Structure 1
Amino acid sequence: MSAAETHAAEVHEIVRRLGLPGLIDVHTHFMPSNVLDKVWAYFDSVGPLTGMEWPITYREEEDRRVALLREFGVLAFTSMLYPHKAGMAPWLNGWAADFAARTPDCLHTATLYPEPDATAYVGRAIDDGARVFKVHLQVGDFDPNDRLLDDSWATLADSRTPVVIHCGSGPAPGKFTGPAPIGQLLSRHPELRLIVAHMGMPEYADFLDLAERYEGVHLDTTMAFTDFSERFAPFPAAELPRLRALENKILLGSDFPNIPYPYAHQLQALERLGLGDDWMRRVLYGNGAALFPQVSQGIHS
């Protein structure tokens, strides 16, 4: 049995035991090959944001990466991509629209950057079918409260389009990471549907506070609770009761393919929290299906 087959068998055992139709993963990366090559080169070089060895487990061609997710039983996934400078977002959005068109199980993903034409291209992406946005405050190095984004946030709030946002200060703090900028953003746009990536690592408690305070705030599990992340950003055991109470607001995220361990390890790390099968069912499938109802509609049509 190949490594990929072993990984798939481990995933299927968890899915089978829980009686789920499959998984919904809101945090997977697909992007233009020249951009992804630079991302992988950064991880290979032990870049300053990570400062640690980070082997890419699923360094494969695009078609094979899509096939792997399907072999793992992932029913819907995203193409998380993000600009690091002005002028990049419209090009990335065009690529993502094309990727979603040829990959029907991908939730059409888009992104943004604070620039004068952001309002126009955010609206255009939504009109063209974007179902989720990705924002990376660490890589983009911008303030989410930049006034150039005000109308874009309003459009995203009005359309109830979820935004997966890397805003925690892990693996290294940025000028605009942490709970304070997001708290300010939500005070001005309280209807936003934000999915805080990586559970807000390492400011877990602060981002749980925001999820309790704002109806639209969710968190994704990406890399949280794994052996890899627990070494440098352990989730505080005292917060587990709050994690259980927020069972309707936690979504599976993996960071596939850029993970330094097998895909199944994220699921196993969630299981060992001991929060119960019902919690697991919501996180691995139910909450994603509620946030993206077209997924479950497609399964049952």
Structure 2
Amino acid sequence: MGLPSLIDIHTHFMPERLLAKVWAYFDAAGPLVGRPWPITYRLAEERRLDVLRGFGVRAFTSMLYPHKPGMARWLNDWSAGFAARTPDCLHTATFFAEPGAVEDVRRALDQGARVFKCHVQVGGFDPNDPLLDGVWGLLAEAGVPVVTHCGSGPAPGAFTGPEPIAALLARHPRLPLVVAHLGMPEYEEFLSLAERHDRVMLDTTMAFTAFAEEDAPFPRGALPRLGGLGDRVLLGTDFPNIPYPYAEALHALERTGLGTPWLRAVCHDNAARLFGL
């Protein structure tokens, strides 16, 4: 496509002990996974960085997320250190629905966070929890995007699906929210939200791959709608926690038939504009 590089906004780097627990969860096909899920890039941190850069990725994230109260601040401190020693990582932060959430997010913004991760499924919290209202307001005001796992794949959570996000956007319509995994499996409902809210974006993480299509195929009739949102779709992969080679994510996007201009925008140009790269 003549691109100078890729920009992948959905990659995972986190403290080694926590990552080992995440991998163990995948190895055991835990309840939120529900099927065998071999980790393709089970490598030491420096090797993972080398491999990702070797794919031509110029900028990436350190998506990390708490599964209980009291984790977000120390995760954010770790991520700030990781970004400081890894200049091509977009400084990433997170939060949990707890009394100190607003302070945690303000502190992370002061540290230089450029993107946040919110995992509604793993966190098991309602994005409309009053404890988070100040968080969403801060992020909307700062214009900092929030990559949010809010779809019900691979297994539904208590607060996943489009309805809670629709309610959130009704209160914070200027929130730059990135729907992870194209909202899998509620693709069309999240496309509708993006069509109604011009600051809602979607990332492509795992979408269209053979692995995802087995359980949650993207409706082919909705491809023109996805093509129409080409300026608000961003490349995401879930590296290193993917059960197939990295290139499969790229081939899967090519197989949509949405064309080279769409692919260029998704794989590089949209994220470059969003993050000023």
Superposition TM-score, scaled by structure 1 size:
0.91
Amino acid across the alignment from 2:72:
A
Question: 117, 134, 142: which one pairs with 1:151?
Answer: 134
C-alpha separation in 2, matches of 1:67 and 1:34: 20
Question: 245, 259, 270: which one pairs with 2:253?
Answer: 270
Identity, % of aligned positions: 66
Amino acid across the alignment from 2:170:
S
Question: 69, 82, 85: which one pairs with 1:86?
Answer: 69
Question: 75, 91, 103: which one pairs with 1:120?
Answer: 103
Gapped regions of structure 2 (runs ≥ 5): none
C-alpha displacement of 1:116: 1.3
Instruction: Tell me the SS of whatever aligns to 1:231.
Output: helix
How far does the alpha carbon of each residue in 1:46-79 deviate from its partner, in whole angstroms, 9 at most, with x for none? 1122221111000000011111111111000000
Question: 226, 230, 233: which one pairs with 1:247?
Answer: 230
Superposition TM-score, scaled by structure 2 size:
0.99
Q: Does residue 104 in structure 1 map to residue 87 in structure 2? A: yes
Question: 207, 231, 234: which one pairs with 2:214?
Answer: 231
Paired position in structure 2 for 1:182: 165
Paired position in structure 2 for 1:19: 2
C-alpha displacement of 1:115: 1.2
Say what the alpha-carbon RMSD is for the aligned residues: 0.5
Instruction: Tell me the SS of whatever aligns to 2:173.
Output: coil
Q: Does residue 206 in structure 1 map to residue 189 in structure 2? A: yes
C-alpha separation in 1, matches of 2:81 and 2:28: 31
C-alpha displacement of 1:168: 0.1
Q: Does residue 288 in structure 1 map to residue 271 in structure 2? A: yes
C-alpha displacement of 1:120: 1.1
C-alpha separation in 1, matches of 2:32 and 2:103: 32
Paired position in structure 2 for 1:136: 119
C-alpha displacement of 1:145: 0.4
Instruction: Tell me the SS of whatever aligns to 1:195.
Output: strand
How far does the alpha carbon of each residue in 1:72-117 deviate from its partner, in whole angstroms, 9 at most, with x for none? 1100000000001111000000000000000000000000011111
C-alpha separation in 1, matches of 2:257 and 2:133: 41
Instruction: Tell me the SS of whatever aligns to 2:58.
Output: strand
Amino acid across the alignment from 1:143:
D
C-alpha separation in 1, matches of 2:137 and 2:32: 31
Q: Does residue 58 in structure 1 map to residue 41 in structure 2? A: yes
How far does the alpha carbon of each residue in 1:219-257 deviate from its partner, in whole angstroms, 9 at most, with x for none? 000000000000000000010110110000110000000
Question: 29, 42, 50: which one pairs with 1:67?
Answer: 50
Gapped regions of structure 1 (runs ≥ 5): 1-17, 296-301
C-alpha displacement of 1:128: 1.1
Paired position in structure 2 for 1:39: 22
Amino acid across the alignment from 1:105:
D
C-alpha separation in 1, matches of 2:232 and 2:194: 8
